[in-house]
Amino acid sequence: MSAAPRVPLNVSAATWQFVLILIAGALLPVSGPSFQLQAQSSRTKESLPERVTKLEEQAQKCKTAAEAVSLYQIFLADSAIKVLERKGAETKLAEWQKLAAADSVRVGKKWMSKPEELELRKEADELVQQGMVLLQNGNPKQADDLLTKASKIYPEHMSSVFLLALGALMNDNYTGAEKQFTEMLKRAPNNIAILNNLAVAEALNGKPDKSYKHLQQAADLDANYGATLQNLGALVYTMENPPRNKKFVAISPATKDKAAKAFAKLRTTSKAAYNPAKLYVFDFKFKRAEAESSQEEQSEVERVVGNGTGFVIAKNYVLTNKHVVDDADALVIVDPADPKKLHKATVVGVAKGFDLALVKCESLSAAAIPLCVTAAARGTEVLALGFPVSNVVGSGLKSTRGIVTGLPSKETDGMLVSDVQINPGNSGGPLCDSSGRVVGINTAVTASSRFVKGYGLAIPVTEAFSFIKEHLPKFVPVAGETKKKEWTEVDAAVSPSTVMILIRKKVEGAAAPAKSTKPTK
């Protein structure tokens, strides 16, 4: 490999001081007593049924009590669970609901109020600032003491541990750096930046097998991540040209071969740039992990990663978009009649042409919405219902009005164009006319250079009939009335059959990327 990079084994203190100054801004941060969650009944962990015990272990790893409540509600939505399991889960749910009512959050293994969590974070951030100054002034020992204290005060902290790793690197303490990056990975599994940093520390510490493992893990997560390609190339060079350091002697031939093949493949397929003259690179983009760590810690937990909208077209059947249910490990429907009641649902089928999916929910009792059997004309007044950006505007049903501004065309992939406000979360919801009949399925927002941002795109409901009949041969759409109604009446008529679809994803040691209900267009 004549163009392979050379590997740095020593970095001067002056260089590290310069690095610290560069990253200082990136690391700094943009009431009531704390307590451990204790059983509030006579039940002990051992007396709970096995499935409930495991569920409680998952709940204890949630970041907020509200997330734990969601876990139990979804578990209880399964009508097949046993009596003792239901009783145990209901008892634990009541305990978590009390914590959720107090808006409790977890910091380490403690549950506390948000104001106290904020105070702890502020205290830790102040210690990090002081530690950074000490590092810049060449006082790593004193800095380590402050940063270690910060990490203990606020166990979710990332910056303190990262700086501890940098302090170790400044003293050529690769074992110490590896230890700190390993701790960061525990707090935020599968964070690509942390995986890269740990891999570099392992390589410099004479552990190429472990280094390759973590770089391969990073490549599997995102093949286009630049640091991974660069560091994998440096690792291959290290294996082929080991430095005169006995630590690097024990290199597995199998790992050497795998790394070489992985690098060759990644260099061909990755969109990232590779610089043969460049050294190993440490990645400072780990900061996003601090915000995601609460989700990533839920090892092997199924959690909500997004939501979409759907509407009932026949008893127990909901129509929505394909991109809402794509890649979901499980679906849960929120009962429009009782938002605290959740129903498990399954995908019956997805369309090959349009972005459509049919979902079945045995326990849902909402009535079917009337469908318009003729195509909507341009200028038709319409009302869109759905659950957009619930984290911003609340989780309740929202409705917006407008008109059909454009008919289906090749440029719009056969969809209606309207000036109705559509946002992520609206996907799969009904677009209704003034008589309360569905004329379209909200699917996307125009946000490319071809359009002025702000138009909504909806699949004409008439295009969905053939797809629905593939799975429901006896399907006959509810026609409904043609008489115009007040828009408040339309909203009231359609709302009981418009449902929120929660998208759940299994997390195997890390959080999956949040599922977007807005397709890329």
CA angle, 334 then 336 then 339, to 5°? 55
What one-character DSSP code corresponds to residue 237? Answer: H
Pairing assessment for the beta strands 330-334 and 342-350 based on DSSP bridges: antiparallel
Q: Which residues of the chain have pLDDT under 50?
A: 1-45, 249, 288-300, 447-452, 508-521
CA distances from 302 to 72, 80, 289, 332 (A): 12, 18, 19, 12
Distance separating alpha carbons of residues 82 and 271, to the nearest angstrom: 51
The Cβ of residue 268 has, within 10 Å, a number of other Cβ atoms equal to 7
- The pLDDT of residue 2 is 36
Element of type H or E holding 71: helix 65-76
C-alpha 476, offset from chain centre: 38
- The pLDDT of residue 163 is 79
- 3-class secondary-structure state, position 502: strand
Q: For 399, list phi and psi in degrees, rounded to 5.
A: -135, 145
- The pLDDT of residue 248 is 54
Distance separating alpha carbons of residues 113 and 105, to the nearest angstrom: 6
C-alpha 229, offset from chain centre: 24
Helices (H), 343-388: none
Distance separating alpha carbons of residues 378 and 497, to the nearest angstrom: 26
What one-character DSSP code corresponds to residue 463? Answer: G
Radius of gyration of the chain (CA): 27
- The pLDDT of residue 336 is 86
Distance separating alpha carbons of residues 399 and 385, to the nearest angstrom: 4
Spatial neighbors of 120 by CB under 8 A, at least 6 apart, are: 107, 112, 153, 154
- pTM equals 0.46
Q: Are 162 and 147 in contact, with CB atoms under 8 Å apart?
A: no
Element of type H or E holding 144: helix 140-153
- The pLDDT of residue 33 is 35
Give residue for tokens 């939505």: 77
* Domains of the chain from N-terminus onward: 13-27+114-291 (1.25.40.10), 45-108 (no CATH), 303-507 (2.40.10.120)
The Cβ of residue 7 has, within 10 Å, a number of other Cβ atoms equal to 18
Distance separating alpha carbons of residues 254 and 279, to the nearest angstrom: 24
Give residue for tokens 């440029």: 411
Report which residue type is found at 365.
S
